[in-house]
Structure 1
């Protein structure tokens, strides 16, 4: 419903009146078990009675469905769609791969609620690529070869994705949520700045992976391997759908650091960010003895990153976007 003034016919007032949407709790019994659900109701601004508004019943059904699934730990339709997207697999092949009947996933997508047993299988497939690989191997004879190969390739890539820490994955996923386009070069530099600002504001690293002093600035080698195929193009990686909507896995302090970096450094291209890192002491110290064009894989010591960014924080105040922008402009 639009945010403009809401008007509809009130059967009590017998005329068109404005109304307000409010939340109301109801109690429903499902399979002999009582549940309290919060639904949306329309209340007439003149008489205070509830009104019947087009579309509201469908909205309530959706609200009750979502809350019931949460109460019982049942997988959502969105999660099933995410699973299909991640593994590039259709409804029928996914059903067979997980050991279900061929039309089971189709029924779930139309609104049928899965049993707890089947829901747990779907949840595990979504959270564990190793489990998905096992299910694909167990049921490969039931699936068309093309569908099997695509899903297995996606599962293998996702297993490889977990070669970095969970924190690194969550940070990358959150950066993807915040920015529409991120190239591999840009991502590398944002991760480096996030690490530095985390030291400055939270007095600890955001993640424990080490970066190296490559020719084009700080690089996290494992992250480079994950996205090397994108070269200079924006990253479009369906594998990260597995982390969508999980930003709560980051603390409020961690999200604040990422938001500050994304809203400032994130306004610039990877090449511009590279120029900034080339003027910073941690990269210079690690590159000592190497000519500008000579490759090296020397580690940029986390202690040097910490010392440098804590000192610059005293000078610029990285707790605000203004302070970060002043720092950026000083280096450009």
Structure 2
């Protein structure tokens, strides 16, 4: 363990970190925060270690924003990233003073009113587009065009159904690091398992038989910027606050897929889809590597996964895992 000088023991002592409660009044309102404290292992008294005060300040700031539902610094950075806009132009577009966003990025806490404007911009590309058009003449032409292009792309990508957004959110929440390629395959398997177990599609979108397996084009457009990297909070922030409309049985399907197909990497899932009839039949007439936009119909997916369900029992993890193992080893 690390050591620090204990002013009570008057010598170097080992210390440990633990969470403690802190009562604090901010703007006349009382709060109870949970912060990190360092304590001498010998006498038990609290000691000061390098960086602890900065850590406590960050802990208090984060919890205060949560208590008051105030936009975070990370969320402001997400706004700048997804709309491809700088801090000063963003300040102007949203109707703030030019140095407002820079101050927020340095740690100043926004008012509730300004926080709501920032949160609305983060949730709604259509709102952001309205603000861009409203303040077009106040920023440079280059900044306007760059941000408008990113905003229009988001609006187009977000034409996906609420059900699809809900499934994407659940997958990202359960698995954490998911690449766009892996997400595409998990959406396909979620649809297949839903058709087999619930006898209905979990979302309305159709996938296409692309070179690397089934792909939902609108989802591809939304996350294509991440390439083979995990999807981070920048794009996920746009959809994670969407109302959940999935039934319990539909949510159970997503859980099941995440706990089975979701433990495999993108390339393994791609290989798996290449061994399955829906993709193979939809690719008939196309040589390897030739692009295709042929739809993999829900009827094809339904027939195949019903058949696999009868053979392997897709109601349980063991049955799906047996199917995956045997299919990958063909």
After TM superposition, the score normalised by the length of structure 1 is: 0.79
Partner SS, residue 268 of structure 1? helix
Superposed, 1:230-309 pairs within 5 Å as 234=228, 240-243=235-238, 254-255=254-255, 257-264=257-264, 266-268=266-268, 270=270, 272-277=271-276, 280=277, 282=278, 291-293=284-286, 296-297=294-295, 299-301=297-299, 303-304=302-303, 306-309=305-308
Deviation at 1:212, TM superposition (A): 5.0
Does residue 1:162 correspond to 2:158, yes or no?
A: yes
Asked whether the 8 Å contact 2:165–2:242 carries over to 1, the reply is no
Of residues 191, 206, 209, the one that matches 1:211 is 206
Partner SS, residue 80 of structure 2? helix
Distance 1:182 1:295, change over 3 A: closer
**Separation in 2 of the partners of 1:182 and 1:27?**
44
Does residue 1:12 correspond to 2:8, yes or no?
A: yes
Asked whether the 8 Å contact 1:24–1:41 carries over to 2, the reply is yes
Asked whether the 8 Å contact 1:86–1:242 carries over to 2, the reply is no
Any idea what the Cα deviations from partners look like across 1:106-147, whole Å, max 9, x if unmatched?
000001110100000000000000100001111111111111
Superposed, 1:219-234 pairs within 5 Å as 219-223=215-219, 234=228
Which residue in 2 is equivalent to 1:148? 144
- When structure 1 is superposed on structure 2, of 317-326 and 112-121 the one drifting more is 317-326
Which residue in 2 is equivalent to 1:113? 109
Distance 1:229 1:49, change over 3 A: closer
Asked whether the 8 Å contact 2:256–2:317 carries over to 1, the reply is no
Unaligned runs of 5+ in 1: none
Partner SS, residue 191 of structure 2? helix
Distance 1:23 1:29, change over 3 A: same
- When structure 1 is superposed on structure 2, of 99-108 and 212-221 the one drifting more is 212-221
Partner SS, residue 313 of structure 2? helix
Does residue 1:329 correspond to 2:316, yes or no?
A: no
Partner SS, residue 260 of structure 2? helix
Which residue in 1 is equivalent to 2:118? 122
Distance 1:244 1:160, change over 3 A: closer
Asked whether the 8 Å contact 1:260–1:320 carries over to 2, the reply is no
Which residue in 1 is equivalent to 2:289? none
Asked whether the 8 Å contact 1:188–1:219 carries over to 2, the reply is yes
Which residue in 2 is equivalent to 1:139? 135
Which residue in 2 is equivalent to 1:29? 25
**Separation in 2 of the partners of 1:49 and 1:229?**
51
Which residue in 2 is equivalent to 1:69? 65
Matched positions, count: 314
Deviation at 1:314, TM superposition (A): 2.0
- When structure 1 is superposed on structure 2, of 240-249 and 46-55 the one drifting more is 240-249
- When structure 1 is superposed on structure 2, of 10-19 and 124-133 the one drifting more is 10-19
- When structure 1 is superposed on structure 2, of 252-261 and 105-114 the one drifting more is 252-261
Partner SS, residue 95 of structure 2? coil
**Separation in 2 of the partners of 1:33 and 1:305?**
60
Asked whether the 8 Å contact 1:190–1:266 carries over to 2, the reply is no
Partner SS, residue 19 of structure 2? strand
Asked whether the 8 Å contact 2:195–2:302 carries over to 1, the reply is no
Distance 1:53 1:31, change over 3 A: same
Deviation at 1:256, TM superposition (A): 5.2
**Separation in 1 of the partners of 2:114 and 2:133?**
18
Deviation at 1:321, TM superposition (A): 7.9
Deviation at 1:32, TM superposition (A): 1.1
**Separation in 2 of the partners of 1:177 and 1:18?**
35
Deviation at 1:43, TM superposition (A): 1.4
Partner SS, residue 38 of structure 1? strand
